[in-house]
Structure 1
Amino acid sequence: MVTGVRHSYDRALTDVRTITADNNGHYARFESEICPLVLGLSRQLAAPVEARIRSVASRVGLRTAGTSCAANVTIIIADDGPAVILALRRKMPELFTGLSGFEIGRLKRESGPVWNWYSIDPKRRDGAPVEHISQIAFGPSDPPKPVSPHAYIASNVTLSRLTEPVRLDLALSFVVINSRAAAGLTLQQLADASAVLGLSMINPRRVGELRSESVLQVLSTSGDVRRRIAGATDFDIRYLSALYSGDSGYSSDQQAARLATAIERSNARLARPAEN
């Protein structure tokens, strides 16, 4: 029995680490209200997809904004993902602020069917702003040296052995889905996959390595998988619920362990035979 539990936990931990993008040792999450926007579909189709994303967000513990809000989760259905991304970079380069040259290049090279990127806002653990720095000097006689664009100082933070002094908040998320991958999906499948991609930092290139069932898999497969997975799976909901519970200052290793524990406990409950 103990061996089975350990195996379930290890599998969950592997799945979490496989699909979650680690950003400087953190799993970023939204702390603000969620406002989804779906583009590339008629309003008749986009509206229920947006409503379903809101429903998933509420279910896993997020607050949702009113209908006249500024979008922070943008889903785009497009025939040519790279062309859409290129057009956005030309017209609104500020949407890509914070991405490294490598990350920009990867968006250009990827073949899809999903392209995603995020805007990150570092904060102190208590939510106060951090001070960004561009140069640092190691002595009074040393000339300042340039540092990473992600460098910052968190002042007056109470240190803890359990959590990090800085947290990373998701400010914006963008998901582009190839229209051919979206073809044939129900609105629930499309919305739930969009919700998982938009509410957490997912690495879509590794979804095929998952051993647990996830609604993310409907975007890259067809046939039996699409018939079997009607929407967000237990893995998806437990993953998001654990991500959005507890302190936001955990390191990625701590978060991965927390998420895996939540998923394993759910698996154990599902596997337990019903009492007569």
Structure 2
Amino acid sequence: MSLFVTLALLAAAPAAGEDPDSIVVTGTPDAKREERKRAAEFVRRAGVARLNPVARWIAPVCPRTVGVDAKIAGIVNDRIRAVAAEAGAPVAPKPCTPNIAVIFTDDGDGLTHAIFDKSPREVAALSPIERERLVRGDGPVRWWYGTREESRDGIPNDSGVLKHYNSSIVSTQVVRALRAATVIVDAERADGTLLDAVASYAAMVALAEIDSDPPPPRDSIMGLFEDEPEHRSLSGRDMALLRGIYSLPPDREAYQHRRQLVGAVREGED
């Protein structure tokens, strides 16, 4: 037996008196750094906590799907509710006032133009670049959000001044809340895609403030409409990101949220 083979066998064998079942294999520092790098890239491409702290649903979510028959609408609504519950987001009991609109249409461009023209207040918070991307986008799904700032105590910042009833050296005292989400599905461009996959995609973008600017994260439902999608349902990283969003302290700076979400996605790989 060669010295190399002998050393390999010795390295693989447990020490005398040691229970093989008790041996714990740990990743190398290089492997852990690579895992964290992949998680950080996933969060970066999702666009959450890039410049602003995370916005999430504080009011219970109530999805409503239109433009399709009741059976299909029910499938989409139920999928959003199920994903929200699994992520830890609040879910409104039925019946409820909708705050998530999923709209199926044969003309995504025309409908987006019409909404922007007839309801300018709904998209007033969007930057000119975001509006242009939404109006001229050619993807099968486009979406946007309505957000507002609230105090830690739930008082909306309607006047531009937030009242605080406590102090903290850690808390920003401000929470960014999602108050509306609009998801437009262009049925012509999404033709051939499984309904369950479209419903999962809609759930992902409705529950997190996902950046619609490509490229989407790898190993994600967000790549559904790429040439070779890896996932047609929510991936482990997708759910890890959503759970991270709904478990982190909302009143923190963007870099703190980003760091915690990277950790959440990293743990989701285990």
Short-chain TM bin: 0.7 to 0.9
Cα distance between partner residues in 1 of 2:81 and 2:189: 22
Q: Does 1:10 align with 2:18?
A: no
1:160 is matched with 168
Pairs aligned (count):
243
Check the 8 A contact 1:27/1:255 in 2, yes or no: yes
The counterpart of 1:216, out of the listed 222, 225, 243, is 222
User: Per the alignment, do residues 10 and 163 of structure 1 end up closer, same or farther by CA in structure 2, a change over 3 Å counting?
Assistant: farther
Check the 8 A contact 1:189/1:230 in 2, yes or no: yes
User: Per the alignment, do residues 153 and 24 of structure 1 end up closer, same or farther by CA in structure 2, a change over 3 Å counting?
Assistant: farther
After TM superposition, give the deviation of residue 102 of structure 1 in Å.
4.0
After TM superposition, give the deviation of residue 24 of structure 1 in Å.
5.6
Q: Does 1:46 align with 2:73?
A: yes
Secondary structure of 1:7's counterpart equals: helix
**Largest Rg, 1 or 2:** 2
The counterpart of 1:200, out of the listed 193, 202, 208, is 208
User: Per the alignment, do residues 98 and 23 of structure 1 end up closer, same or farther by CA in structure 2, a change over 3 Å counting?
Assistant: farther
Secondary structure of 1:180's counterpart equals: coil
2:13 is matched with none
TM-score between the two structures when normalised by the length of structure 1: 0.80
Q: Does 1:56 align with 2:83?
A: yes
Check the 8 A contact 2:84/2:90 in 1, yes or no: yes
Q: Counterparts of 1:87-126 in structure 2 under 5 Å?
A: 87-126=114-153
Secondary structure of 2:224's counterpart equals: helix
Cα distance between partner residues in 1 of 2:46 and 2:214: 6
1:128 is matched with 155
Cα distance between partner residues in 2 of 1:23 and 1:170: 16
1:273 is matched with none
User: Per the alignment, do residues 197 and 174 of structure 1 end up closer, same or farther by CA in structure 2, a change over 3 Å counting?
Assistant: same
Q: Does 1:27 align with 2:33?
A: no
1:139 is matched with none
User: Per the alignment, do residues 20 and 105 of structure 1 end up closer, same or farther by CA in structure 2, a change over 3 Å counting?
Assistant: same
Cα distance between partner residues in 2 of 1:123 and 1:104: 25
After TM superposition, give the deviation of residue 221 of structure 1 in Å.
3.4
* Stretch moving more, 100-109 or 27-36: 100-109
Secondary structure of 2:94's counterpart equals: coil
User: Per the alignment, do residues 204 and 98 of structure 1 end up closer, same or farther by CA in structure 2, a change over 3 Å counting?
Assistant: closer
Task: Note the alpha carbon deviations across 1:41-84, whole angstroms, 9 max, x for none.
Answer: 22221111111110010001112113321111111222322210
Structure 1: state its 5+ residue gaps: 133-151, 270-276
Letter in 2 for 1:237: M
Check the 8 A contact 2:49/2:257 in 1, yes or no: no
User: Per the alignment, do residues 22 and 158 of structure 1 end up closer, same or farther by CA in structure 2, a change over 3 Å counting?
Assistant: same
Cα distance between partner residues in 2 of 1:219 and 1:174: 19
Check the 8 A contact 1:218/1:229 in 2, yes or no: yes
Cα distance between partner residues in 2 of 1:43 and 1:27: 33
The counterpart of 1:86, out of the listed 107, 113, 138, is 113
The counterpart of 2:257, out of the listed 251, 255, 258, is 255
1:146 is matched with none
Task: Note the alpha carbon deviations across 1:228-257, whole angstroms, 9 max, x for none.
Answer: 524111011000000001311122211111
Q: Counterparts of 1:137-176 in structure 2 under 5 Å?
A: 152-176=160-184
